[in-house]
Structure 1
Amino acid sequence: MYDVIIVGAGPAGLSAAIQCRKWDMNVLVIDEFPKAGGRLLGQLHQEPNGEWWNGIEETKQLTETASKLNTEIRLGISVHHVEKIDDGFLVHTNHGDFASVRLLIATGAAESAAPVPGWTLPGVMSIGAAQVMTNVHRVRVGEKGIVIGINVLSAAIAREMQLAGVDLHSMVLPAMNPVTKDHAHPKKVMDKLSRIAHLAPSAFLRFGGKVAKANIARKLATQFYPRNGMKMWGMPIHLRKAVTQINGTDHVESVTMFDVTADGKLKKGTEKRVEVDFVCIAGGLYPLTELAAVAGCPFHYSEELGGHIPVHNEEMKTPIDGLFVAGNITGIESAKVARAQGKVAGLSIAREKLKGIADLEYKVLQAMNDVRKTRNEASIQFHPGIEEGRTKMEDVFRESKKTETAL
């Protein structure tokens, strides 16, 4: 019987494990990937202050610290069920069952792909897959490609691919359909793009970031958006062009592109073929919450946090005794925020076991402050209203505990 099992060896899971081991807890970390680090492994970008964020190096530091603390980490193990038992949890995996008094779920997030006709052709991949192939496996994904879907994630990864010498024609919108309506609407995309405008060398995009809160400004910006796009790091970003079809016989050969109106409607007579040999599709991220659901955790839908989120408080506790969550399962944010949340979760778990240690009480409060500071200083925000979403979640958690007490 472990003191705690942590599912997910990303920044949140590893950070939590380190804190638990510092307080001499019996910890098991499980991850289905053959390497620890999660989405950290593919990350490489330059911060506004000029410093580089290297996910592989960050992972190395976390794993080395965990190793020095004799943390048990088992990789290549998939968790397929979590069962609440009288004295804790039973975690079912493809390598047998593991029992624990407490459970931390730090499973992160997964990609949503915007469907485009022809997306089953070899050479079509998610933007996240391109990131892993480029930064982790050092595999060139193709000679010349295009990114369909303009958002914070795709812009950041496109830059990483450029730094690796990958030739990208441009970033464009998907054609509008019931699934892609938000991703294909220039005004809505402009709003999202504004959250990375400070990173852009384009004066137009930087200006857009300052005025994005004004609806009239978004309308004007999209209405008069240059036909040839605006360049970010030398790569055209087209808010007024959309891909309707990926073409090819045995592999990607080209895409069909149309000009679109400020509302995302195709303009007849503007059809054009662009020759590329690979396509990256970017539809954003959503929290990976299945294990929290089977564990019996209640959920709350939060647009600000990126979807249906396990109910939890700032200490990373859920209404289920002994169940904790941390990282992107609690809302889509940066790896730095996930790491800071993991520290909170680890300290909260240690405090729950050891009880009454003043130093731990102080450390939990300090770690929560660090999360807020890290969030406020984040160079990239995936969703607007993060703070509002977090405040609402605290209210939902308190209400769930009131209901539980009443019952």
Structure 2
Amino acid sequence: MTATPPAPDQHRPGRIMSREMAEQPAVLRRLLTKGAPEIRETARRIAARQPRFVLLTARGTSDNAALYAKYLLEILLGKPCGLTSMSTTTAYGARPDLTDVLVITISQSGGSPDLIDSTRAAREAGAVTLAVTNNPDSPLAAVSEFHIDILAGPERALPATKTYTASLLALYLFVEGLRGVDGTRAAARLPELTEGILARREEVRVLAGRYRFAGRMVLTSRGYGYPTAKEAALKLMETSYIPALSYSGADLLHGPLAMVDNVSPVIAIVTDGRGGRALQPVLERLRDRGADLVVIGPRDQVDLASAGFALPAEQVAEELQPVLEILPLQMLAHEVTLARGQDPDAPRALAKVTETR
């Protein structure tokens, strides 16, 4: 019997990551239709507990989603919010009083031991615990009082793409639910806009040519765009191995600006709103230094830069723009990695579930 030959692209580098990026419109639609009612109900039940403070727990890509949630909680809800240092609990054995504190743990797999242990400890210390995962049967979901399923489906590529955007939307819907708002209305156009951005791959491929031989990169933003800068830097480092440094625009001016020259590329994520306006003095300083500045954001900002990718940001609220902003940067990490002769599906030294303690 003659064996059936493999499909032509079965072993093509980057095939899995590319396919999962393309699934994002469907994932967002699924969250808006099937996931939103349960998220609203979870938010209603937690809001009734009247948490006095919020702590966010995560690692890696999920940590960038947690930072996004921090902006949402503080701006939209006016709720004090912090990012936890898990080692205080897992390594040092600290047991703070978390009575009436909402602890949100974000993890795509829900399987990392330190996330599980710190969440269990938080619940024992009196916290209201919520797990946000892509696996409702995970150990993290089991130790948490509440759970939100981001409904992204299996993610096989090591770089997280669809689980990141799904986490952002799920967290947005949850925070809106905490304040009694149906977030699906404001987010309704996201799947359609996502499809439009993902269709512009050739633009990103041209942009990737600027970074094929880059020795390092700097990414910056302010406000809601800052988590996008951090996530994009992580994607570039874990796929192409280019050292990528991410800074708040305000922090960039406090020293790191000195390393910016006309050789090292700078990518600025400019949200259409207050965050983008707050970034303007930073962009002016970068242009004054002759930086190779690429802008991801509104067309008028792209036109002032060396190059960029224009987003339809004016069609969604500022707090939802991060779902769109990360898409060309995911594609950029994919294309730069391929241009450098590497496989973005299988970064060296990485595993899908990272077991930190």
The alignment's TM-score, normalised by the length of structure 2, stands at 0.26
Structure (1 or 2) with the greater helix fraction: 2
The alignment's TM-score, normalised by the length of structure 1, stands at 0.23
The structure number with the bigger radius of gyration is 1
Structure (1 or 2) with the greater strand fraction: 1
